Amino acid sequence: MRVDDVLVVKRSRIRTAISGTVVGNFMEWFDFGIYGYLAVTMTVVFTEGLPPEAGILVTLFGFAVSFLVRPLGGAILGPLGDKLGRKKILFLTMSMMAAATALIGVLPTAAQIGLWAIAPLYLLKMIQGFSTGGEYAGAATYVAEFSPDRRRGFWASWLDVGSYVGFAAGAGTVAVTTLIVESLAGSNGMVEFGWRIPFLIALPLGAVAVWFRLKIPETPAYEVAENAGGTDAASADPMARQGIGGIFRHYWRQILIAMAIVAATQTAGYALTSYLPTYLEKDVGVSNITAAVSTIPVLLVMSACLPLVGHLSDKLGRKPVYLMAVVATLVLMVPAFAVMQIGEVWSIMIALVMIAGPVALWAGPSAASLPAFFPTASRFGAMAIAFNLSVSLFGGTTPLFSEFLIQLTGNTYMPAFYIMFFAAVAGVAVVTMKESARRPLIGSVPTVETKAEAVELVEGQDDNPLIDTRTMPLDILPGQVPAPEQPTPVA
């Protein structure tokens, strides 16, 4: 490996690239925040005539239906991202997501067309789900490939900062809209027309996000791999670009490990963001505004901590931070739900902090850790498959299954047990995972921030256990370096 082989990406370019990516996750979770905090209102608007228990399940199924189509979106958009580039697909997903969110705000209600009103709502949620199938996988791939190896955890963690700040913004939009509408139009104002306003706000926000996406460059790692021929399809070579069959054939172990980690991360994350607003209103008995006011500051503080967790994963490694997340989840979940049952604002705040802590430990390393499981040529497609299968089966269905389990058993602690189960499964997966912190991504050359760092890296490459040139797209003469049998970052 020569100095010219090392990618030097200036910090200014990293910031531009990551800011243009973060806006997509902000928009995705802005919609989740709106829908989550309007779930009880949306039940009245779209399921008028159904019993309340059935109505809330029908409304929460709107979450689930969007996640059911995510694997399809991932299976189509992921491989396209490997073939056409990360930038083009991320622009497409952002445009679809913003348009679908805004269109929800102009839908007819059950009072106008009966229970048929739920059909176009589900359709738009499915469009959102399809586009999101390529959004997080593509965004995580993008920021991981743009980040320097030594600080990938820190830079990539900003992707999830955008997620949770977006949710907080959605929740805040609902709270402010509710206060204004009810002060002007009375207590029925939100059901009559106010619920539309937060969704319509997504239109100008989406236009800004699309503009940001137009400004981002293609990742240097993808361009190097493409120029080196690393993205040419060759099913016998695990380093080459693979179709869906090749991805499962070569990387099924990594997919299972990634799915376990994603399931633990997303069940806790979606419980905190998308289900607890409904839980606080229905099972604890607080108002919509109280639920929002309690959640927003917790989410903002947690978001501010994510770069610190990402930085910690750069120093200690991804595995130790994930194992901290396992222990924290198993220890804190049941006490958190017990404290929440007190029903006072202070107790709700404490409970939310107890849940947010493990979520931060799960989310902080993930945007850096998960893409590192797969080589550059197939990273987008493999990430899309692993992430979306897990989110669809376990994460996005958390609100629906949590409410169903409570209704089935009468036990209001069932969401805690649901989250703890997936944390335990993920703990087994993490133990089998090989460390990826401070290492170049598989199928990519090292990425650094300065030329001096590149010189230092090349001079010490022979004694550096973090460098493996066999997985890099280098111009090496035959016989110089043995080809790896199966480049894989996991045991």
Q: What angle is formed at CA 351 by the lines to CA 349 and CA 352, rounded to 5 degrees? A: 65
Give the structural domain span for 12.
3-218+242-431
Q: What pLDDT was estimated at residue 486?
A: 40
Q: What pLDDT was estimated at residue 476?
A: 46
Residues 6+ apart with CB under 8 A from 188: none
Sign of the dihedral through C-alpha 7, 8, 12, 14:
positive
Give 404: exposed, middle or buried? Use CB within 10 Å, 0-12, 13-18, 19+: middle
Q: What pLDDT was estimated at residue 482?
A: 40
Answer whether residue 396 is part of any domain. yes
Answer whether residue 447 is part of any domain. no
Answer whether residue 166 is part of any domain. yes
Answer whether residue 272 is part of any domain. yes
* Mean per-residue pLDDT of the chain: 86
Nearest to 437 by CA among 369, 353, 350: 369
CATH number of the domain within which 21 lies: 1.20.1250.20
Most confident residue range from 262-271, 317-326, 457-466: 317-326
Answer whether residue 472 is part of any domain. no
Query: 283 or 409: whose pLDDT is higher?
Result: 409
What's the domain count of the chain? 1
Answer whether residue 257 is part of any domain. yes
Answer whether residue 478 is part of any domain. no
Answer whether residue 348 is part of any domain. yes
pLDDT in tens, 186-198: 888 998 999 999 9
Query: 233 or 373: whose pLDDT is higher?
Result: 373
Helix (H) or strand (E) holding 8: strand 7-8
pLDDT in tens, 256-311: 999 999 999 999 998 888 778 778 887 888 876 777 678 888 989 999 999 999 99
